[in-house]
Chains A and B, each alone.
Chain A
């Protein structure tokens, strides 16, 4: 049991819509990272939040945005959905130290039609 939870489990949207995905971090963790995993590929780093501030971003456009709350839970928002946004979205929590392990949630499967 990793302690990281994500909601919803599955989601179907249409092109142009907006979506919000949620993640509850493991107790005591102050860092949340979001990844996009397309079918047949490895997770791709979207961005990371540390103590409510964005702390690094991968090669994703600004329509991917996020938030982290005082309890360290986090949201991923995607505006103007495109077909290529269909993927598994993973959240992982950790402490902000290189030696600490990140723990993954089960993911949210997003389908864009």
Chain B
């Protein structure tokens, strides 16, 4: 079975600061990796995903994530955060199957101060 660990439960940044949210997973086989975001009052939505190929994937709103297989990591980054990035961020993994059968981490709440 897979598991996902998100190290930071709550991150507080000022606008224009750089962001990196950690995500590690445990599974020995081929994986698909995802970052989801939930803005206040909105549905959970996909930010970016990795299936294969270039380990650096770009998502919406200037976010990117890097898959490092040797470290079982898929960290999310953004060079300069905005107040509107305040949200909860979830990392998820599945064992090379459809996106619905995913294991999620417990989330990181990001607060960006204006």
Contact = CB atoms under 8 A, between A and B. Distances in A.
Q: Do A and B come from one complex?
A: yes
Interface of A: 2, 4, 31-33, 35, 40-45, 48, 56, 90, 92, 94-106
A96 B98 contact: yes
Contact of A31 (B4, B90, B100, B102): B100
A95 B100 CA distance: 9
Contacts of A43: 44, 90, 104
A43 B4 CA distance: 12
Interface residues of B, number: 24
Contacts, number: 69
Contacts of A105: 43
Interface in B84-106: 90, 92, 94, 96-106
A33 B46 contact: no
Given A41-B106, A92-B100, A94-B99, A101 B43 contact: no
